[in-house]
Amino acid sequence: MQVKFLDLKAVNEPYFPEMLEATRRFLESGWYVLGKEVESFEEEYAAYCGANYCVGVSNGLDALRLILEAYKALGMVREGDEVIVPANTYIASILAITQSGLKPVLVEPHPESYNINPDEVEKQVTSRTRAIMAVHLYGQLADMDRLSAIAERHGLLLIEDAAQAHGAKLHNGGRAGSLGHAAGHSFYPGKNLGALGEGGAVTCMDKELAEAVKALRNYGSHKKYYNLYKGFNMRIDENQAAWLRIRLRGLDRENEHRRMLAGIYDSMLDPALVKRPKVMEYGEHVYHIYAIMHPDRDGLQKYLADKGVSTLIHYPLPPHKQEAYKEWNYMSFPITEEIHNRELSLPISPVHTKEEIKYVASMINSYK
């Protein structure tokens, strides 16, 4: 059996007829950037997340950067201030901080969930700390109740990196995107809510922040040719917004399918052979990534490839070991490094079948 890691054509194909109609609609409007499709998506996604405001932007990295730049523009963060961020994350989380002239303070993840560890966050708060960036890794929410308490106690901003967690929610009902002061979202095509190219969004509760982000994404301007800030070109276009409106309507159903497939992996994978991140009791996982840990990760990946199963690694190198941040290469984060040495991502998507997932699990169990 051949099992692709992700078949984007198959994922998107059911939505093609609606998209053709949407394409005709915005083409006939004659307005292709920051028009009615963007406005409608912003309203719908804000409502979905439970946020007061949503601002569509160019991608997930830019979403995080715009949040930080907006806080700088509003005088709430200054150049050189510290942002606590997990060492176990994709490099975009770190890039947003350094590109905004701020200092990342890396902390180890929780040893069971692999998300940011509130105990480690508490230890790293200093007089220069201004924010915590909580990354919802693999589709599971960070421990937002504890992080919120830390942020409130120390007067810090709590920013969600929700790039991998579309639709994830606490059992009390709060969704990713409404659990902190602001959240950055990515709509890269392979995400649970994926665009047909690049796209992102900022969600938040505060009108002043939303207005600053709106201006900053558009050269720092609310009114054409009049610039309030030294802004950026970080806009989302009508085409992506129209597509995301369509995909959003199917997101909960697709996430439920992912959870069903994850349940098959959970029931079949031999715990003596592989370790999985613990699903924490406080929230509902959306399984953007189904991650396992294996001591012979590279050997297992090759074995699965020989059996027709495609897998990926998220991620081969943590940010502090990347050449881009070579000044950090001396740092040691043992939990993070062990995760990156052992992690393997298994196929899981809205179009994978039970039979495919059972085959993948059986092949893993047969690896000696």
Chain position carrying tokens 């929230």 = 283
Name residue 319's amino acid.
Answer: P
The DSSP letter of residue 300 is H
Q: How far apart are CA 153 and CA 133, in angstroms?
A: 16
User: Taking a C-beta distance cutoff of 8 angstroms, is the pair 85, 108 a contact?
Assistant: no
Q: How far is CA 235 from the centre of its chain?
A: 19
Q: How far apart are CA 50 and CA 293, in angstroms?
A: 34
Q: Catalytic: 191?
A: yes
CA-closest candidate to residue 42, choices 290, 348, 216, 248: 248
* φ, ψ (nearest 5 deg) of residue 235: -90, 155
Name residue 43's amino acid.
Answer: E
CA-closest candidate to residue 147, choices 133, 137, 161: 133
User: Taking a C-beta distance cutoff of 8 angstroms, is the pair 85, 115 a contact?
Assistant: no
**Residue 16, C-beta contacts closer than 8 angstroms, at least 6 positions apart:** none
Catalytic residue among 72, 191, 214, 321: 191
CB atoms within 10 A of CB 368: 6
Residues linked to residue 55 through DSSP beta bridges, in sequence order: 202
End-to-end CA distance of the chain: 20
The CA-based angle 315-317-318, given to 5 degrees, is: 90
Tokens read off for 147: 């992080």
Catalytic residues: 191
